[in-house]
Each structure stands twice: as C-alpha cells, then as structure tokens.
C-alpha cells in the first residue's frame, strides 16, 4: 500500500461511485444524490469509487491519475486501491462526471483545459482512457477551465471557469455530444450583453462554476466562482491581493433548459459554488453555498412562477470564513451535508423547512476536506481532501485522504481510510 501511495497523487478531488455490473454513478462533484435526473439511479451497494487525482511533482510519476478504490465490504479487496491510470502531465485535475448512459467518465483539467474520457463500463475495476479532448479552448471560442461535466440526454454540458482573453471569470457553458463532438457554446449573461435575461439585482458578472437541471420545470441553474488568474494563484498571495479578491462571482443564473437561453440573473454574493436540486416532484428549489460569506442560499420558484434567491442559513461562524466547499443533498430532500475546507468539518442541516435550515450534526473529517459522496440510501458517505494545487494547505495541514463512513441517522462511523501521502 505504501508503494502504491507514492505513485498516487497528493490532491484528491472529484470522485465517482460504480457498480461492478457496468453501471457507474458519479457527478462532477461526485455523489449519487446530485446526479443528473436523466440517469437511472443506483440504489444498492456500490462496488468501486473512482477518484480523479491531482499529480504532484516528486510523488511517483507526478501525473494526474484516475484511481479506483474497492468499497464493497464483501470484496477481498475492500478498502484498497485496485487500479491507477496515469493520463500524462499535470492538468489541475478537478472534477468528473458520467455520460447519461453511465458508460463513460469525463474528467477535466482546470489549467490545461483538457478533458479526459474514460471507458468505465467494459471493465469497471480497470477503466481505460479512450479519448483526450485537447482543443476545448479553440472549439468553444475561448472558454478556459472545464469544471462540471453534466449529463443531458446524449449530451455533456460543461461549465467553464474562465476565458483566454483576460483569464478572468467571464465564461460560458460548452455543449458536447457523448461521442466527444463539440456542439455549441452558451455564454453567460453580462451587463454588456444580458443575452435576453432579466437582471434582478446588482450583478450580471458572466462568471460560471456549477450547473444543474430541473427538467420538470424546464430549468437549468448555474453558479459562479472565479477565473484562471485567481484559481491558479497561491492562496495566501490571493487573499492579500485586494484586486484579486474582487474577482469572484456573485450570481446564479436561471436558464431555459431546452432553449439553452438565460432567463434571469439572481444576486447571490460571495461566490456560490455547488448546486444541489431537490428530488421530490413538488419541491421546485435548489440550494447552493457561498464560499466567501459561508451561507446557504435557496434558489426557488415562488407562487407566481418567478425564480428567486434567498440566504437562509449561516454555515458555522461566517466571521471565521470556514469556506464551504462540497455539499450533498439526501434523496428525499430532508437533509444537506456541507463540508468546510478551513476547519476540516462536515455539517448536517435539516431541510424539512428549506426556508429555515437548521444544523443538527457536525464532525471533523480531516484537514482541508473538500468532496462528499453520498449513496442513494444515505447510509454511506465518502470524503476526500484537497481543493486546488495552489490553494491547498502547507506542511502537516496538507492532508490528502480518502475516508469512508457509515451514517446510522445519528452519527458518522469510520469504516476505512487511505492516506495518499503515506511514506
């Protein structure tokens, strides 16, 4: 295991759940309950977790890798890395997502803007790299930093984080077919070009980050983060740069899903990141969290059919900037898990009244925790660390792990852990 660990990366980011029968579940942000609604759900015990990992100089071959971990308790390899696949170079590996048929996993690099496509259905225990999209910037018209790879019927909708003109935050959605053919670029609305959208408040910044769909309402929702010039900067340096700290998104955009047209720009100040939408047919809402202000926001359709945004809860002590990162909603919409990078905790919020979420549980997971992946039944949750190569902590705080837990409805119980930096 130690020898394997040295060949793995140090940064552990987007990951996916899989079954040995060739059906794979994931998202850009890695959990079954935030999958595209166009996918069939996998509700039983998963066999494997795929971890899209960040290459680090001096660790093994230093390349980004797709790492496969056996998570089936009935397997003799339970809790072990069973396969690794290097892709060549360091691309700022970040998130991944499956096609709607669950046969292929798309994984992006935020620095090189390459997209790696893996066959995960032929042999789920040993994925194969079958395609590299290396002309994403040119084909898209200048979009940089493929982030979320989200499944639509026969399509992959990819959010960009930046552009190749000024490497700032203005960006677009980029649409591909499942076989890797570029189809269209849908630019985010800005003050200069609202692209037909209504501006509801102060901001129309054109930034992007995550994307989710509510097909029953013909709605697509996008959030906003920051551009290449910030996310590739040293974290400490960026925090001291007043101009850099102004370059964060403050918007959520509501789109016409079928027309691919922005309808309304909502003010959500403080860098809204992950979006998770409700599953129940009468719940016409989504939630997001703001990284800089540590709040849960509700994005909801009101009684008049208008989409609105409202800050509904604080996450920890916002004055200490715990920096909420990944979130995971239960399949019955009852609770929301929220991870916070700076204090290494996960918190559980009761969503029975989404206008007034209440924290009901918290637990330290590990330093610089980021991702959470929840099984459909809510009984298993997997966590990984690391945010961005230049934002991760230094020294002993630079923990790089995969941790598996069981949730019994009252507390998280550790099952196993993998330390990717163990000597």
Which CATH number belongs to the domain containing residue 37 in this structure?
A: 2.130.10.10
Contact 124, 116 (CB under 8 A): no
The per-residue pLDDT for 33 is 81
Range of the domain at 151: 2-419
Q: Which residue has the tokens 């076989």?
A: 179
The domain tally of the chain equals 1
**Closest to 8 in 3D by CA, of 73, 59, 82:** 59
Consecutive H or E run containing 140: helix 136-140
Question: pLDDT tens, position by position, for the chain (423 residues)?
Answer: 222 222 233 334 455 555 543 322 222 233 578 789 998 777 889 999 999 999 888 777 889 999 999 999 999 999 999 999 999 999 999 999 999 999 999 999 999 999 999 999 999 999 999 999 999 999 999 999 999 999 999 999 999 999 999 999 999 999 999 999 999 999 999 999 999 999 999 999 999 999 999 999 999 999 999 999 999 999 999 999 999 999 999 999 999 999 999 999 999 999 999 999 999 999 999 999 999 999 999 999 999 999 999 999 999 999 999 999 999 999 999 999 999 999 999 999 999 999 999 999 999 999 999 999 999 999 999 999 999 999 999 999 999 999 999 999 999 999 999 998 874
pTM: 0.93
* Overall size of the chain counted in residues: 423
Contact 9, 55 (CB under 8 A): yes
Q: Is 91 left (phi over 0), alpha (psi -120 to 50) or beta?
A: alpha
């Amino acid at each position: 295991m130690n020898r394997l660990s040295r060949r793995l990366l140090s940064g552990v980011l987007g990951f996916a759940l899989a079954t040995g029968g060739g059906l794979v579940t994931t998202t850009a942000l890695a959990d079954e309950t935030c999958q595209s609604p166009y996918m069939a759900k996998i509700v039983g015990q998963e066999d494997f977790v795929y971890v899209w990992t960040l290459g680090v100089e001096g660790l093994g071959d230093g390349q980004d890798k797709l790492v496969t971990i056996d998570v089936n308790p009935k397997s003799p390899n339970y809790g072990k890395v069973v396969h690794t696949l290097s892709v060549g170079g360091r691309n700022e590996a970040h998130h991944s997502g499956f096609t709607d048929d669950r046969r292929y996993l798309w994984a992006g690099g935020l620095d090189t803007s390459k997209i790696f496509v893996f066959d995960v259905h032929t042999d789920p225990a040993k994925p194969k790299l079958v395609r590299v999209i290396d002309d994403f910037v040119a084909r898209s018209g200048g979009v940089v930093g493929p982030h979320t790879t989200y499944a639509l019927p026969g399509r992959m909708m990819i959010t960009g984080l930046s552009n190749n003109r000024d490497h700032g935050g203005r960006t677009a959605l980029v649409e591909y077919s499942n076989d890797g053919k570029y189809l269209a670029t849908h630019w985010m609305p800005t003050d200069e070009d609202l692209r037909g959208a209504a501006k509801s408040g102060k901001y129309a910044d054109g930034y992007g980050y995550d994307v989710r769909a509510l097909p029953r309402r013909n709605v697509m929702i996008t959030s906003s983060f920051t551009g290449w010039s910030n996310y590739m900067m040293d974290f400490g340096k960026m925090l001291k740069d007043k101009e850099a700290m102004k370059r964060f998104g403050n918007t959520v955009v509501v789109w016409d899903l079928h027309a691919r047209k922005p309808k309304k720009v909502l003010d959500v100040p403080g860098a809204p990141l992950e979006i998770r939408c409700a599953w129940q047919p009468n719940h016409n809402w989504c939630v997001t969290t703001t990284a800089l202000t540590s709040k849960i926001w509700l994005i909801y359709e009101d009684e008049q059919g208008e989409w609105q945004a409202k800050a509904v809860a604080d996450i920890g002590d916002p004055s200490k900037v715990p920096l909420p990162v990944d979130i995971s909603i239960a399949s019955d919409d009852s609770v929301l898990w929220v991870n916070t990078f700076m204090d290494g905790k996960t918190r559980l919020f009761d969503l029975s009244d989404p206008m007034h979420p209440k924290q009901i549980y918290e637990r330290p997971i590990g330093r610089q925790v980021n991702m959470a992946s929840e099984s459909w039944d809510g009984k298993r949750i997997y966590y990984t660390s690391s945010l961005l190569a230049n934002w991760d902590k230094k020294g002993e705080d630079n923990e790089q792990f995969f941790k598996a837990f069981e949730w019994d409805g009252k507390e998280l119980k550790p099952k196993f852990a993998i330390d990717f930096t163990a000597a």
